Amino acid sequence: MLLFRWLVLMFLLGAAVCFAFYAGTGQPRFKRWGWTVLKWTLIAAFVFFAVLILERLA
């Protein structure tokens, strides 16, 4: 559980760094990478916490 939280935090930090690089350089590839990392991080987090909630209900 703690490992998953740290992984999510690190991926969110990575997305923020990508957006900062985009703001600094203006290269659209950094924005694209940032959105991709953010999207998959949020999807994985929602699935993980949905599984936890379903385990509590069962």
What confidence tens digit (pLDDT) does each residue in 23-44 have? 999 999 999 999 999 999 999 9
CB 34 within 8 A of CB 19: yes
Report d(CA 25, CA 44) in Å as an integer.
29
Report d(CA 41, CA 2) in Å as an integer.
16
Q: Is the pTM of this model over 0.85?
A: no
**Domain extent at residue 16:** 2-57
| Phi, psi angles (nearest 5°) of residue 26 | 80, 5
- pLDDT value of position 1: 78
Nearest CA to 46 out of 56, 54, 34, 58 is that of: 54
Name the 3-class secondary structure at 31.
helix
Domain count, the chain: 1
